[in-house]
């Protein structure tokens, strides 16, 4: 069986979800031909760079513009016009992607971004390919760009997401609540004491992990300054080298300041709680690790929806003013039963093996040819 797994490299989450599915197929299925592609690699250079850099610029420096574009494009009276314009732009710039998919004509196309989903759905409507299309929605909310009649199966994170799709007129038979796929390393069983020794952390201290994505944005320094006397802090600055250096220069005794890391699962395993951005992939990883979250610096639109969903579940708190953080952290530190209650609520909704569930959905033969 031939399978193409595709994403668009606007934000890390879409790639991470696609890679998790790809790794699952490679580890489990030795007979199928599985290919992982960035759909933007099959567009012209100007479009690709505009897509990637435009996204990064807006979320870092013009979040108001991102919010405006998100809600304007979701506004029902404008949908038909905006969706038509959006699709036309994508189709014109994705000619190489169209040619590639037509030439390959895979049995399944699994997409973790709406751009390749739109292109694939168009080709299916035009009967240029017969591929089954699985669209993996990588947030708990659903922007209208994800919706297309050519999608065979929507894989979603929760019953909350499922209800949104039903309200949008998507048939229940097309929706599978399997979760957002994450790397299997988050499913491992960790020895906390061993990791504390490895990472040179105090096992007596209440530990807070602070991480806000690859750009290291948000009030990380202010959070560290307000908490360092009370708790042990692991602060991940990612690509923000200036922030990393400022934190190291402080020389706080129970602060571990890190740059870009590839062992987030270990940092989560030695932490009692996390302060982070509410991205869909991040939330799925946090839930898999049963780590109580506080959310900061949400991207307007999809991340606000993610955060609000977890708040309503009694799992997270959405921080509007960083001055609230110290009171909440100290409350959790002094009342461990509250953390245990949150962990129990997490167990009721987490879906850590989404990649495996997606593999079985594809290979069972229930929605197309079996592996």
29 DSSP 8-state letter: -
Spatial distance between the Cα atoms of 170 and 43, rounded to a whole number of angstroms: 29
pLDDT of residue 262: 92
Contact 212, 220 (CB under 8 A): yes
**Cα distance between the two ends of the chain:** 6
Name the pTM for this structure: 0.92
- CA 24: distance to chain centroid? 17
Q: How far apart are CA 60 and CA 215, in angstroms?
A: 8
pLDDT for residue 73 = 83
pLDDT below 70 — which residues of the chain? Answer: 214-216
Cα separations (Å) of 50 from 93, 241, 328?
A: 12, 24, 40
226 vs 199: CA distance, rounded Å: 23
Q: How many CA atoms lie within 13 A of 27 on its CB side?
A: 12
pLDDT score recorded for residue 215: 61
Q: CB 45: neighbour CB atoms within 10 A?
A: 8
Could you tell me which of 237, 233, 250 has the C-alpha nearest to residue 199? 233
Measured from the Cβ of residue 160, the count of other Cβ atoms closer than 10 Å reads: 18
| 118-149: burial string, b at 16+ Cβ within 10 Å, e else | bbbbbbbeeeebebbbbbbbbbbbbbbbbbbe
Question: For residue 215, is it left (φ>0), alpha (ψ between -120 and 50) or beta?
Answer: alpha
Which pLDDT does position 272 carry in this prediction?
98
Q: Contact, 23 vs 355, CB < 8 A?
A: yes
- Supply the pLDDT for residue 124: 95
- Classify 351 as helix, strand or coil: coil
Per the structure block, which two tokens stand in for 327?
């009171």
Distance CA 303, CA 336 (A): 28
In angstroms, the CA 196 to CA 117 distance is: 43
Q: Structure tokens of 359?
A: 């593999």
Q: Give the three-state DSSP class for 135.
A: strand
What span, in angstroms and rounded, lies between the C-alpha atoms of 307 and 297? 11
At 249, list the tokens: 């220069």
Residue with tokens 């710039």: 93
- Residue labelled with tokens 């750009």: 215
- Rounded CA separation 157/351 (Å): 8
Encode pLDDT of 285-319 as tens digits: 999 999 999 999 888 889 999 999 999 999 999 99
The contacts of residue 85 (CB under 8 Å, 6+ apart) are none
At 218 the pLDDT is: 75
Q: pLDDT at position 216, please?
A: 58
Domains annotated on the chain, with CATH: 2-182+352-363 (3.40.50.2300), 184-349 (3.40.50.2000)
227 Cβ neighbours under 8 A, 6+ residues apart: 208, 233, 325, 326, 329
In the 8-state DSSP scheme, what is residue 367?
Answer: S
Tell me the pLDDT tens digit for each residue of 17-57: 999 999 999 999 888 999 999 999 999 989 998 888 877 77
């Amino acid at each position: 069986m031939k399978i193409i797994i595709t994403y668009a490299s606007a934000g890390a989450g879409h790639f991470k979800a696609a890679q998790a599915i790809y790794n699952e197929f490679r580890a489990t299925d030795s007979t199928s031909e599985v290919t992982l592609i960035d759909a933007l690699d099959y567009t012209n250079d100007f479009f690709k760079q505009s897509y990637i850099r435009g996204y990064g610029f807006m979320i870092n420096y013009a979040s108001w513009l991102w919010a405006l574009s998100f809600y304007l494009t979701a506004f029902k009276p404008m949908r038909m016009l905006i969706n038509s314009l959006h699709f036309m732009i994508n189709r014109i710039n994705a000619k190489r992607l169209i040619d590639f998919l037509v030439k390959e004509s895979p049995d399944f196309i699994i997409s973790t971004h709406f751009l390749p989903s739109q292109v694939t759905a168009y080709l299916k409507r035009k009967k240029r390919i017969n591929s089954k299309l699985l669209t993996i929605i990588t947030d708990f909310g659903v922007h209208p760009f994800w919706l297309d009649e050519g999608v065979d199966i929507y894989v979603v994170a929760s019953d909350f997401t499922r209800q949104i799709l039903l309200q949008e007129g998507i048939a229940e038979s097309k929706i599978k609540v399997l979760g957002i796929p994450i790397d299997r390393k988050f499913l491992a069983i960790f020895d906390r004491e061993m990791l504390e020794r490895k990472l040179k952390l105090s096992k007596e201290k209440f530990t807070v992990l602070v991480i806000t994505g690859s750009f290291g944005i948000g009030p990380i320094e202010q959070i560290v300054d307000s908490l360092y006397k009370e708790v042990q802090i692991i602060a991940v600055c990612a690509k923000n080298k200036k922030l990393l250096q400022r934190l190291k220069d402080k020389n706080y005794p129970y602060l571990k300041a890190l740059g870009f890391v590839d062992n987030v699962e270990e940092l989560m395993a030695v932490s009692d709680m996390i302060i982070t951005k509410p991205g869909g992939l991040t939330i799925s990883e946090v839930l898999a690790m049963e780590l109580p979250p506080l959310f900061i610096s949400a991207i307007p639109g999809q991340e606000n929806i993610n955060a609000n969903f977890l708040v309503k579940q009694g799992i997270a708190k959405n921080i509007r003013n960083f001055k609230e953080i110290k009171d909440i952290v100290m409350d959790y530190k002094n009342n461990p039963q509250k953390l245990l209650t949150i962990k129990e609520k997490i167990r009721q909704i987490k879906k850590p093996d989404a990649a495996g569930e997606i593999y079985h959905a594809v290979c069972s033969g229930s929605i197309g040819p079996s592996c």
